[in-house]
């Protein structure tokens, strides 16, 4: 089905006269810290070289498995042995988690709260709010936001220790945003975010 999907997309682009044209985002990504980071083979090679030179004492992996995606020539699997402590945050066992000293099992996106920002924005800058659709299946798993909140609380307890979990942190963050900076149908930012699943931020 993959080939047919690509062929259909190509046919649509031909019909719409889009061949040779680049899609340009119609709005800026809201909040630079939420901007998607991208990389390629050059970045994997630079990472592997840094591993080879023992540049890192600790590495964290989340949403990526460079041992699998890296080429044999990049030697990532071999060079990872030169890192003292490797932590993987993942829902699945994969080539990278098997080399980690510590694996933190994550809840699925169906069980967790979160935010997402599309790298290509349309006319309005938007933040998607992810809501859990089901109860946690396994008690030992944790959400990525909860893990990050715990780590941040260790470094800056004055700011982050007042939140019981990531849900409380996210709710507070959304509710305290200036109302006039959000194109929402309600004066209550949180209620609007839950209702529409989106927060549309004025440029």
Please tell me whether the overall predicted TM-score, pTM, comes out greater than 0.95 for this model.
Answer: no
Looking at per-residue confidence, does 189 or 59 come out higher? 59
pLDDT digits (tens, 9 = 90+) for 44-73: 899 999 999 999 999 999 988 999 988 777
pLDDT digits (tens, 9 = 90+) for 125-167: 778 889 999 999 999 999 999 999 999 999 888 888 889 999 9
Per-residue three-class SS string for the chain: CHHHHHHHHHHHHHHCCCCCCCCCCCECCCCHHHCCCCCCHHHHHHHHHHHHCCCCCEEEEECCCHHHHCCHHHCHHHHHHHCCEEEEEECCCCCCHHHCCEEEEECCCCCCCEEECCCCECCCEEEEEECCCCCCCCCCCECHHHHHHHHHHHHCHHHHCCCCCHHHHHHHHHHCCCHHHECCCCCCHHHHHHHHCEEEECC
């Amino acid at each position: 089905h993959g080939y047919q999907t690509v062929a259909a997309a190509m046919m649509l682009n031909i019909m719409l006269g889009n061949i040779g044209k680049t899609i340009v985002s119609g709005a800026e990504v809201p909040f630079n810290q939420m901007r998607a980071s991208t990389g390629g083979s050059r970045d994997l090679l630079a990472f592997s070289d840094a591993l080879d030179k023992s540049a890192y004492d600790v590495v964290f992996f989340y949403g990526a498995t460079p041992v699998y995606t890296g080429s044999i020539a990049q030697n990532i699997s071999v060079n990872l042995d030169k890192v003292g402590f490797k932590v993987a945050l993942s829902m699945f066992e994969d080539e990278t988690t098997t080399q980690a000293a510590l694996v933190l099992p994550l809840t699925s996106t169906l069980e967790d709260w979160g935010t997402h920002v599309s790298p290509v924005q349309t006319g309005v800058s938007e933040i998607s709010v992810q809501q859990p659709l089901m109860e946690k299946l396994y008690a030992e798993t944790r959400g990525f936001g909860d893990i990050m909140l715990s780590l941040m609380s260790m470094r800056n307890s004055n700011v982050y220790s007042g939140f019981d979990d990531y849900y409380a942190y996210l709710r507070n963050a959304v509710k305290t945003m200036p109302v006039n900076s959000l194109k929402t149908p309600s004066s209550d930012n949180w209620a609007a975010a839950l209702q529409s699943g989106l927060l549309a931020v004025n440029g």
